[in-house]
């Protein structure tokens, strides 16, 4: 089971938890204050960019190749 690192947004506590990879597993709660507002810390790089722009590639390009544009 992998170990994940979390930080509590309520009190700032950092803790580690062994989690399974089950996506249905509920998020952990802070062992310090019991808050459920914890953020998973990925291996020390993903937390540097809050609110990264979501740019789906390949989608939303429907300008050409439409339906019945040939005359």
Nearer to Zn ion, 12 or 24 (CB): 12
Helices (H), 5-71: none
Chain contacts with Zn ion (rule: CB under 5 A): 8, 10-11, 13, 30, 32-33, 35
Distance CA 17, CA 9 (A): 16
Nearer to Zn ion, 33 or 53 (CB): 33
Query: Could you tell me the smallest distance in angstroms from the CB atom of residue 26 to Zn ion?
Result: 16
Query: Could you tell me the smallest distance in angstroms from the CB atom of residue 37 to Zn ion?
Result: 8
Backbone region of residue 51 per phi and psi (left: phi > 0; alpha: psi in -120 to 50; beta: other values): left
Query: Could you tell me the smallest distance in angstroms from the CB atom of residue 14 to Zn ion?
Result: 10
On whether the CB atoms of residues 40 and 6 are closer than 8 A, the answer is yes
């Amino acid at each position: 089971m992998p170990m994940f690192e979390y930080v509590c947004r309520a009190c700032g506590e950092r803790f580690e938890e062994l989690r399974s990879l089950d996506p249905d597993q509920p998020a952990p709660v802070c062992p310090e204050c019991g808050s459920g507002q914890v953020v998973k810390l990925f291996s020390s790089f993903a937390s540097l960019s809050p609110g990264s722009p979501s740019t789906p590639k390949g989608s939303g390009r429907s300008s050409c190749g439409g339906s019945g544009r040939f005359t």
